[in-house]
Amino acid sequence: MARRSYVPFDVFAMRVDVPVSTAVRDGDLGWTCGQCPLSDRGAVYAPGDLLAQTEFVCDMIETVMARAGFVSSSVGKLQVYFAATTAHEASDALALIAARFQHGPLIVPIPVPHFYYDGMLIEVDVFAAGNLQVRTPFEAQGVRLEIVDTGEQVWAYIRQSPGECAVSAESAQFIVDALNRHGLHHDHLLGDLWMVCGNDSQVAAIAHGAQQLQLMSNPDALVRLAKPALPVFAAALSFGKEPVVVFTDTNTDHGLRLTLKKSGRMIWGSGTCADPSLDLVGQTSMIMQGLDAGLRAAGAGFADVVKLTAHYTGGATEEELHGNMKVRHGFYTSPGPASTGLPVRGLGIENCRIAIDVVAISN
């Protein structure tokens, strides 16, 4: 097969035209766009029924994996965005996903306040690899660590049990020791997504602890979890097999914060903007311009991007999604990357309306 291949955006439809792909495969690795309970005309399947939509999306994932040349056991990580009314409903949906993918992929629950299409309650990002190894989980000091090794990257998921509101010294030491046991050190950290449920002081305490561990690249991109949030904090981390080279690490007077890292052929970038004078579209434009320049500094461009994720704060309207999506999509042509964009409860700082991450591969 060719080094890079695409599954076109034809499995379901958005309510606007999008130059993105349902899935992108590059070598042994693969990424999907957010898999949504939508028809090929953009209609929501089983509106308001989380379990029915979860089953529908699991079926969709298996279809997309097969079209990308993977099997179900190639699924290494599932980032599950959902809007549930109760913790019991959330647990049932996550249990259903775990039952469908019994080989033990990382399942990262991300509760959100709402979606952009009325009645939609779930969206799932899939990270896949042709040859992956699921490591035995570690748990101590109220912290659980799960690891999947893809050969070229290592994906880790850390979560803390409810009841703690900061990264304690004991928890921090456990995290470092457990990661080091697998040869995972902060100088190999390629990408990170931190998620927190709590008030401002709890969020600040956890962000401080994560930065002390050198496991948080951009505190502004931290996602505040909506109810019902199961862990107090969680982190989805990606490690390269080679030490990272930091190409861009800036924080400007205009509130633009950019980080671009590279490990081997893998590039990860994170951009946020906290300029209060800019609306969602304005901040999106500033971030995308910054990421464009950062990718070029790393010897790549948006044509090399395989995955883009945008977390934004806003209402439950399709207009807000479509507005920032139009800006993002202006930076690439079809077949574009696997792309996900959806509203979250909040980000690391108040004036930040959107955080955008990209994964690129420079061949």
Pick from 17-21, 58-62, 204-208: least confident: 204-208
Class of residue 38 by CB neighbours under 10 A (exposed 0-12, middle 13-18, buried 19+): buried
Query: pLDDT tens digits for 152-193?
Result: 999 999 998 665 555 666 777 888 888 988 889 999 999 999
pLDDT score of 2 more than 60: no
pLDDT score of 360 more than 90: yes
Q: Distance (Å, rounded) from C-alpha 353 to C-alpha 347?
A: 7
Q: pLDDT grade, residue 1 (50/70/90)?
A: very low
Sign of the torsion formed by the C-alpha atoms of 110, 114, 116 and 121: positive
**Contact call for residues 200 and 86 (beta carbons, < 8 A):** no
Q: pLDDT grade, residue 43 (50/70/90)?
A: very high
- For residue 209, the model assigns a pLDDT of 86
Q: Distance (Å, rounded) from C-alpha 170 to C-alpha 237?
A: 20
Q: What percent of the chain has pLDDT over 70?
A: 96
Q: Locate 45 and state its tokens.
A: 């399947």
Q: In this structure, what DSSP letter does residue 15 have?
A: S
* Domains of the chain by start residue, with CATH: 1-130 (3.30.1330.40), 136-243 (3.30.1330.40), 244-363 (3.30.1330.40)
Q: Distance (Å, rounded) from C-alpha 102 to C-alpha 30?
A: 19
ω into residue 228 within 30 of 0, thus cis? yes
Query: pLDDT tens digits for 221-237?
Result: 999 998 876 567 899 99
pLDDT score of 86 more than 70: yes
- For residue 156, the model assigns a pLDDT of 96
- For residue 327, the model assigns a pLDDT of 94
Instruction: Please give the radius of gyration of the chain, using alpha carbons only, rounded to the nearest integer.
Output: 19
Pick from 17-31, 115-129, 221-235, 291-305: least confident: 221-235
Closest CA to 50 of 85, 99, 102: 85
Query: pLDDT tens digits for 299-347?
Result: 999 999 999 999 999 888 888 888 899 999 999 988 999 999 999 999 9
Strand pairing class (29-32; 122-129): antiparallel
Contacts 24+ apart (CB under 8 A), 129-137: 129/28, 129/29, 129/30, 129/74, 129/76, 129/153, 130/28, 130/29, 130/69, 130/70, 130/74, 131/28, 132/74, 132/76, 134/103, 134/104, 134/105, 135/182
Pick from 40-54, 89-103, 297-311, 319-333: least confident: 319-333
* Mean pLDDT across the chain: 92
Q: Please indicate whether residue 252 or residue 126 has the higher confidence score (pLDDT).
A: 126
Classify 175 as helix, strand or coil.
Answer: helix
- The whole-number average pLDDT for the span 236-264 is 90
pLDDT score of 115 more than 70: yes
- For residue 140, the model assigns a pLDDT of 83
Closest CA to 183 of 266, 235, 239, 127: 239
pTM of structure: 0.95
